[in-house]
């Protein structure tokens, strides 16, 4: 261990395999906050550790090669293998002591291989003080190289931090007083705080560059959850204490009571942390609150709760954003009173999510919104749940679902067409909610399995395809696969219809067999395949027409959700092919959306007299009508939702109008 004074007079060389100085506002402010907390008795222990500085003493030959000369430390030079960011920051703080305090004269030398003159910037800093205003600059600041610019910005950041701390007594006087005293304290003085580094000197003739790579490759970076855990549980943590807890105790005992209260709170956090993490590890619960159900980026899943509180954006690039936001909330009392209040917020959000998960209505409706909108919608919902009545909250949920499904709230969704890109996307969202809502309303069913749904890429598919436009014109393997699947489906109908029956499939089967033989022939082109496709479609359409017409092609009554893994040729097949495929996948344990299964099992015809003996091999006009009727009934409540803000505004205007009329009557 070495205290800061142990570095005075030493000479450091930064090799070219290291990047330049890149500490920004975040790192500088965090260091100043940590040091300030430690110096102001909020940190226990005798020293603050700045982590390792790994060095290797240079040989005489190396010093000559790099032209290194110094009047201090007998011209001994150390190559900095790791820790140059910390070392440079220490040097910046020492330079500021000299510029501001005037009498301070201690320093150490840093030479940078990539910029030999860079080390001179510390002596070139210009301190500008005018009454309450102060700052730091250099001559020709606009012409600085990038490394000098970063060093200057770090120096400015320290002064900005001091300006912001003036009101709390951590301004310039503090910097040149208590801060300077402890920062430059010798180690080993009983009861005296000091700042120290771990000095690790390589003496085994190892290659410095290789050591640098090994150290950085194997660094374990603390994540937000680990840093926040340390924030709550460290010895230096400060918890707000209600006056009612210490009232009645003698003054000399109150500090003991406060310590016991802090220990109680920290013990509670440890216990609850494990309970929350265990619940978040439950696949169903995690899939409910997480839009993609993955835990990528969350080695500790509780970090997701922290992200919700910090309202971390999906495009946020700062890996420590959430930790820094938590630190800011506590130090600046931004939205919370202190550490304990922040933890209570964590528990409260978790309890709210768990209660939604356990309530069938909220599980399905909020689960749908999370799947569609991700964590951003959770920010709003958690906030609304604390500020609104249950009635108002429920109305807002329905309104959010409605506006998510529709392109415009004035639309008739039943006219949306597959042909339009925006409308196709809307149909996908609508059918997803239809599956979720149908599951919610079917009380004999379990909850909608978000954990299964989110594992698959779902696509909008025609229940019965009327043309071959979606089959690859250039891939004969797809044509052959389509022929095989339809031939297989028709073979199963032979037992239902005899040779003399008007719907005998044998001629169509024979036609498919002939096309199968020709498909690999160079003379077999897509137009020929299209005629084959149309012949199969005509066979099924004859039966559909006998029931009163064939279904519309591109509206919701001929749409269902199918797995994106289903081959394009299968997706473009007739109803019977899809039905058999879905039955096979369902029997094999593959997840099929609830309403998609009901479509292909013809369950929407359950009110028909011939339900138990109905035809099951084509999608008729009656099938379409019954399906559409069920969709309308299922979505009726949500589609009838009104904007709660508008309702509230109209109610207020109505009350004001009544009050004016009443006043006129009284007059």
Residue 21 pLDDT > 90, yes or no? no
What is the model's pLDDT at position 471? 79
What is the model's pLDDT at position 566? 59
Cβ–Cβ < 8 Å for 292, 454: yes
Q: Measure CA 549 to chain center.
A: 49
Burial of 527 (0-12, 13-18, 19+ CB in 10 A): exposed
Phi first, then psi: what are they for 51, rounded to 5°? Answer: 75, 175
Instruction: Using pLDDT thresholds of 50, 70 and 90, give the confidence band for residue 497.
Output: confident
User: Residue by residue, what is the 3-state secondary structure of 78-91?
Assistant: EEEEECHHHHHHHH
Token pair of 195 as six digits: 């700042």
Cβ–Cβ < 8 Å for 183, 195: yes
Write down the domain spans for the chain: 2-219, 243-358, 439-452+457-639
pTM of the model: 0.71
| Sequence-distant (≥ 6) Cβ neighbours of residue 208 within 8 angstroms | 15, 17, 56, 79, 81, 202
Instruction: Using pLDDT thresholds of 50, 70 and 90, give the confidence band for residue 361.
Output: very high
HSE (CB half, 13 Å, CA atoms) of 336?
20
The partner residues of 3 in beta bridges, in order of sequence, read 196
Per the document, the length of the chain is 667
Task: Specify the 3-state DSSP secondary structure of 234.
Answer: coil
Least confident of 57-66, 461-470, 561-570: 561-570
Q: Give me the chain's average pLDDT, please.
A: 87
Least confident of 149-158, 414-423, 549-558: 549-558
pLDDT tens digit sequence for 121-180: 999 999 998 877 899 999 988 888 888 989 999 999 999 999 999 988 899 999 999 999
Label the pairing between strands 194-201 and 2-3. antiparallel
What is the model's pLDDT at position 500? 80
The partner residues of 629 in beta bridges, in order of sequence, read none
What is the model's pLDDT at position 195? 93
Task: Specify the 3-state DSSP secondary structure of 18.
Answer: coil
One DSSP character per residue, 73-121 reads GGG-EEEEEE-HHHHHHHHHHHHHHHHHHSS-----EEEESS-TTGGGH
Q: Distance (Å, rounded) from C-alpha 367 to C-alpha 451? A: 11
Cβ–Cβ < 8 Å for 463, 573: no
Cβ–Cβ < 8 Å for 414, 632: yes
Residue 365 pLDDT > 90, yes or no? yes
- The Cα-based distances of 304 to 275, 312, 334, 449 in angstroms read 15, 10, 20, 21
Residue 545 pLDDT > 80, yes or no? no
For the chain, what is the radius of gyration of the CA atoms?
Answer: 36
- The Cα-based distances of 17 to 4, 14, 599, 601 in angstroms read 26, 9, 65, 67
DSSP letter at 497 equals S
Q: Distance (Å, rounded) from C-alpha 431 to C-alpha 442? A: 16
Q: Which long-range contacts (CB under 8 A, 24 or more apart) does 645-654 make?
A: 647/395
Instruction: Using pLDDT thresholds of 50, 70 and 90, give the confidence band for residue 391.
Output: very high
Phi first, then psi: what are they for 175, rounded to 5°? Answer: -65, -40
Burial of 540 (0-12, 13-18, 19+ CB in 10 A): buried
What is the model's pLDDT at position 187? 85
What is the model's pLDDT at position 44? 62
Least confident of 43-47, 87-91, 577-581, 629-633: 43-47
With CA atoms as reference, report the closest residue to 308 among 270, 352, 272, 252. 352
Q: Distance (Å, rounded) from C-alpha 279 to C-alpha 273? A: 10
Token pair of 519 as six digits: 């498909």
Q: Could you give the angle at the alpha carbon of 549 between the alpha carbons of 547 and 551, nearest 5°?
A: 110
Residue 458 pLDDT > 70, yes or no? yes
Cβ–Cβ < 8 Å for 512, 599: no
């Amino acid at each position: 261990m070495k205290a800061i004074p142990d570095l005075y007079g030493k000479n450091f060389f930064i090799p070219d395999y290291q990047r330049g100085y890149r500490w920004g506002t975040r790192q500088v402010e965090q260091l100043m906050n940590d040091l300030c907390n430690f110096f102001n008795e909020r940190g226990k222990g005798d020293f603050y550790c700045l982590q390792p500085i790994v060095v290797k003493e240079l040989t005489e030959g190396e010093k000559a090669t790099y032209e290194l000369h110094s009047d201090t430390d007998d011209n001994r030079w150390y190559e900095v293998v790791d820790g140059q960011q910390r070392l440079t920051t220490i040097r910046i703080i020492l330079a500021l002591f000299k510029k501001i305090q005037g009498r301070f004269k201690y320093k150490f030398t840093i030479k940078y291989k990539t910029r030999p003159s860079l080390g001179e910037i510390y002596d070139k800093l210009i301190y500008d003080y005018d009454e309450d205003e102060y700052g730091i600059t250099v001559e020709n600041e606009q012409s600085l190289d990038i490394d000098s610019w970063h060093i200057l910005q770090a120096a400015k950041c320290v002064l900005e931090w001091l300006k912001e701390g003036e009101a709390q007594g951590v301004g310039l006087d503090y910097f040149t007083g208590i801060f300077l005293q402890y920062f430059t304290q010798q180690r080993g003085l009983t009861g005296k705080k000091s700042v120290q580094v771990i000095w690790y000197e390589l003496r085994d003739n190892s290659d410095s560059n290789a050591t640098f790579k090994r150290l950085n490759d194997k660094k374990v970076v603390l994540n937000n959850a680990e840093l926040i855990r340390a924030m709550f549980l460290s010895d230096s943590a400060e918890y707000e204490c209600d006056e009612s807890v210490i009232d009645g105790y003698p003054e000399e005992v109150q500090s003991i009571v406060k310590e016991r209260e802090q220990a109680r709170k920290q013990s509670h956090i440890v216990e609850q942390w494990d309970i929350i993490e265990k619940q978040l590890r439950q696949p169903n619960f995690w899939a409910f609150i997480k839009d993609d159900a993955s835990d990528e980026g969350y080695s500790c899943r509780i970090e997701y709760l922290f992200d919700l509180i910090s309202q971390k954006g999906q495009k946020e690039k700062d890996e420590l954003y959430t930790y820094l936001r938590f630190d800011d909330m506590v130090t600046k009392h931004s939205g919370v009173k202190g550490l304990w209040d922040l933890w209570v917020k964590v528990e409260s959000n978790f309890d709210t999510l768990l209660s939604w998960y356990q309530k069938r209505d909220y599980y399905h409706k909020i689960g749908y919104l999370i799947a569609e909108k991700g964590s951003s919608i959770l920010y709003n919902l958690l906030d609304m749940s604390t500020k609104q009545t249950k009635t108002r909250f429920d109305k807002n949920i329905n309104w959010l679902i409605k506006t998510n499904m529709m392109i415009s709230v004035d639309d008739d969704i039943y006219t949306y067409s597959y042909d339009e890109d925006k409308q196709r996307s809307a149909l996908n969202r609508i059918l997803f909610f239809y599956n979720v809502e149908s599951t919610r309303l079917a009380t004999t069913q379990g909850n909608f399995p978000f954990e299964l749904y989110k594992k698959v890429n779902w696509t909008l598919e025609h229940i019965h395809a009327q043309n071959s436009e979606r089959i690859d014109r250039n891939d004969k393997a797809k044509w052959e696969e389509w022929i095989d699947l339809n031939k297989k489906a028709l073979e199963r109908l032979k037992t239902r219809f005899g040779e003399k029956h008007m719907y005998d499939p044998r001629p169509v089967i024979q036609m498919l067999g002939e096309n199968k033989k020709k498909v690999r022939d160079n003379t077999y082109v897509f137009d020929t395949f299209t005629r084959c496709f149309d012949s199969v479609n005509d066979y099924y359409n004859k039966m559909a027409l006998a029931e009163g017409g064939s279904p519309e092609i591109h509206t919701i009554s001929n749409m269902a959700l199918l797995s994106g893994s289903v081959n394009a040729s299968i997706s473009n097949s007739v109803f019977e092919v899809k039905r058999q495929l879905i039955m096979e996948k369902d029997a094999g344990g593959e997840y099929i959306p609830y309403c998609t299964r009901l479509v292909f099992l013809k369950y929407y015809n359950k009110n028909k007299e011939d339900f138990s003996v109905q035809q099951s091999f084509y999608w008729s006009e009656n099938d379409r009508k019954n399906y559409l009727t069920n969709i309308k009934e299922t979505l009726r409540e949500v589609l009838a939702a009104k904007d709660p803000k508008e309702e509230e505004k109209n109610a207020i205007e109505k009350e004001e109008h009544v009050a004016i009329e009443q006043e006129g009557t009284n007059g």
